[in-house]
C-alpha cells in the first residue's frame, strides 16, 4: 500500500479535515500524521515525507521546489484547498510529481458570511454589542436596510455569482465589475470598476488574487467610494493596499469595512486594521462550516483514490507532466 502524509497540524485537523476523510485516506494506504501544533516548514516537510508517495497538504504547508527535489518517492502533492500559489508547480513538473487542488465547496458559506457582514455593518450590530459588553448603553443609530441598497461585486466567479443572486433575492440593486466575465442576467448590471465604486453602498471584493490584481483597492479606489459606503474583503489580502484602507477608515472617507482575510500569516486579517472601531473582522473562517470543509476534505480522498490507481484525477493541474504516476498502483 502507498504511504500518505497528511500535513494538517493536530490542532487544526479536526476543523479542517475531519474523521470521515481521515478514515477514507486510511482505506487507501498507510497514513502518517502531523502530531505537532504547527505547520511544517520545507525542512520539516521533507523530513516527515521521506518514503511517502502522496502528500495531502493543508493550505499553510507550502510546496517549495526543495520539497520536490528532495523526495524521490513522491508521486503526488494533493492540496486540500483551492489556492496553490505557494506550491512550486514548475519544480513538481520537473520531477514528474502530480499537483492537484480542491474545488470551491465553500461558495454558499462565504456568500452567506458576506450577507451577515452587510447586515452587521449597515445596522451597527457589532458596535452596539461591544458597547453592551462593556456595561454601557449604546447610542441608537439610523441603519441601512439591504433592500433598496446597491451591492457592488468585484469579481464574477463562483462566489460572486452566488452572492449576486442572494443580493437580488434581498431586493438589492446589483452591480458587477469583472472585465474577464460576461454577466448574462438582465437584473444585474455589468459596469466598469470606477462606476461600481462610485455607485455602491456595499463594495465586496471577490476578485482573483494575482499580480494584475495586487493592490487593486488602492487610495484612488477608496477615494471613488461614497463616504456612506462599506468595503468587504473575503478574497485575499493582497488585493488591498492596507495603508490606503486604514487612511480611508480613520479619516472617515468610507463608513466602515469587514474582512475575513488580510496580510497577516495564513491570510488572516491584519490586527492593525481589525482593531479599528469601524471594522469587523473574522479569522479567515468564511469557509469554515461542516459542509464546506467536508467537501474539500472528501474530495482529496477521491483524488488520492484515483492517484493510487495510477490515474490523474479531476483537479490535477499538471497531469501531462506527472510521469511518476506510472509507478502506481
Q: What one-character DSSP code corresponds to residue 270? A: P
- Whether residues 136 and 246 share a domain: the answer is yes
User: 250 and 299 share a domain?
Assistant: no
0.75 exceeded by pTM? yes
Would you say residue 126 has pLDDT above 90? yes
Considering the domain architecture, whether residues 18 and 33 belong to the same structural domain is answered as: yes
- Helix, strand, coil content of the chain in percent (nearest 5): 40, 15, 45
Within 178-267, strands assigned E span 188-190, 202-205, 230-233, 256-259
Question: Which own/partner contact pairs does 223-227 have at CB distance under 8 Å and 24+ positions apart?
Answer: 223/248, 223/253, 224/194, 224/197, 224/198, 225/197, 225/198, 225/200, 225/253, 225/254, 226/198, 226/200, 226/201, 226/254, 227/252, 227/253, 227/254, 227/255
Residue 117 pLDDT > 90? yes
Same domain, 134 and 45: no
Does 190 lie in the same domain as 295?
A: no
pLDDT digits (tens, 9 = 90+) for 135-193: 999 999 999 999 999 999 999 999 999 999 999 999 999 999 999 999 999 999 999 99
Q: Which residues contact 105 (CB under 8 A, 6 or more apart)?
A: 287, 291, 292, 294, 295, 296, 299
Mean pLDDT of 263-275: 95
Q: b/e for 117-131, b at 16 or more Cβ within 10 A?
A: bbebbbbbebbbeee
- So what's the pLDDT on residue 168? 98
Q: Work out the end-to-end distance of the chain between its first and last CA atoms, rounded to an integer number of angstroms.
A: 9
Q: Look at residue 329 in the predicted model and tell me its pLDDT.
A: 83
Q: What is the CATH number of the domain that holds 96?
A: 3.40.50.720
Percent of the chain predicted with pLDDT > 90 = 97
Mean pLDDT of the region 238-249: 97
Number of structural domains (the chain) is: 2
Q: Are residues 271 and 133 in the same domain?
A: yes
Residue 131 binned pLDDT confidence (cut-offs 50, 70, 90): very high
pLDDT at 273 over 90: yes
Confidence class of residue 239 from pLDDT cuts 50, 70 and 90? Answer: very high
d(CA 311, CA 297): 19
Give residues with Cβ within 8 angstroms of 230, minimum separation 6.
118, 121, 122, 201, 202, 203, 254, 255, 256, 257, 258
Same domain as 255, residue 130: yes
Residues 6+ positions from 10 with CB-CB distance below 8 Å: 33, 34, 35, 36, 37
In tens, the pLDDT along 191-238 reads 999 999 999 999 999 999 899 999 999 999 999 999 999 999 999 999
Asked whether residue 93 carries a pLDDT value surpassing 90, the answer given is yes
Do 132 and 115 sit in the same domain of this protein? yes
CB under 8 Å to 292, separation ≥6 — which residues? 105, 106, 108, 109
Q: Which domain holds residue 91?
A: 3-104+289-327
Q: Do the beta carbons of residue 121 and residue 145 sit within 8 Å?
A: no
Residues 98, 115 share a domain: no
> Do both 66 and 193 map to the same domain?
no
Q: Quote the cell numbers at residue 183.
A: 454577466
Q: Within this chain, do residues 257 and 154 fall inside the same structural domain, yes or no?
A: yes
State how far the Cα of 122 lies from the Cα of 125, in Å rounded to an integer. Answer: 8
What are phi and psi for residue 48, nearest 5 degrees? -75, -25
Looking at the fold, whether 95 and 140 belong to one and the same domain comes out as: no
Residue 64 pLDDT > 90, yes or no? yes
* Residue whose C-alpha cell reads 458559506 in the numeric block: 109
Confidence label for 48 from pLDDT (cuts 50, 70 and 90): very high
Q: Share the mean pLDDT of the chain.
A: 96
Rounded distance between C-alpha atoms, residue 272 and residue 9, angstroms: 27
Report the pLDDT value the prediction gives residue 181, as an integer from 0 to 100: 95
Residue 300's Cβ-side half-sphere holds a number of Cα atoms within 13 Å equal to 33
Amino acid at each position: 500500500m502507498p504511504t500518505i502524509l497528511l500535513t494538517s497540524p493536530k490542532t487544526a485537523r479536526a476543523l479542517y479535515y475531519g474523521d470521515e476523510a481521515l478514515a477514507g485516506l486510511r482505506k487507501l494506504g498507510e497514513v502518517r500524521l502531523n502530531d505537532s501544533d504547527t505547520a511544517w516548514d520545507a525542512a520539516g516537510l521533507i523530513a516527515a515525507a521521506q518514503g511517502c508517495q502522496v502528500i495531502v497538504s493543508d493550505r499553510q504547508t507550502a510546496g517549495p521546489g526543495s520539497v520536490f527535489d528532495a523526495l524521490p518517492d513522491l508521486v503526488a502533492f494533493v492540496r486540500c484547498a483551492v489556492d496553490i500559489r505557494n506550491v512550486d508547480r514548475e519544480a513538481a513538473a520537473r520531477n514528474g510529481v502530480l499537483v492537484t487542488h480542491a474545488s470551491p465547496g465553500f461558495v454558499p458559506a462565504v456568500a452567506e458570511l458576506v450577507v451577515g457582514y452587510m447586515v452587521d455593518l449597515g445596522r451597527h450590530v457589532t458596535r452596539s454589542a461591544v458597547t453592551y459588553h462593556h456595561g454601557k448603553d449604546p447610542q441608537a443609530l439610523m441603519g441601512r436596510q439591504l433592500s433598496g441598497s446597491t451591492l457592488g461585486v468585484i469579481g464574477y466567479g463562483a462566489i460572486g455569482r452566488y452572492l449576486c443572486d442572494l443580493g437580488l433575492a434581498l431586493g438589492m440593486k446589483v452591480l458587477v465589475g469583472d472585465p474577464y466575465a460576461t454577466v448574462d442576467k438582465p437584473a444585474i448590471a455589468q459596469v466598469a470598476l470606477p462606476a461600481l465604486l462610485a455607485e455602491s453602498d456595499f463594495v465586496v471584493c471577490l476578485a482573483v488574487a494575482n499580480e494584475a490584481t495586487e493592490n487593486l483597492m488602492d487610495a484612488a479606489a477608496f477615494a471613488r467610494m461614497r463616504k456612506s459606503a462599506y468595503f468587504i474583503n473575503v478574497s485575499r489580502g493582497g488585493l488591498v493596499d492596507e495603508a490606503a484602507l486604514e487612511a480611508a477608515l480613520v479619516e472617515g472617507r468610507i463608513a466602515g469595512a469587514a474582512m475575513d482575510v488580510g496580510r497577516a500569516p495564513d491570510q488572516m486579517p491584519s490586527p492593525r486594521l481589525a482593531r479599528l472601531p469601524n471594522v469587523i473582522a473574522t479569522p479567515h473562517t468564511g469557509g469554515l462550516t461542516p459542509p464546506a470543509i467536508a467537501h474539500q476534505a472528501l474530495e482529496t480522498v477521491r483524488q488520492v483514490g484515483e492517484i493510487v490507481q495510477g490515474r490523474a484525477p479531476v483537479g490535477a493541474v499538471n497531469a501531462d507532466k506527472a510521469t511518476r504516476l506510472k509507478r502506481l498502483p
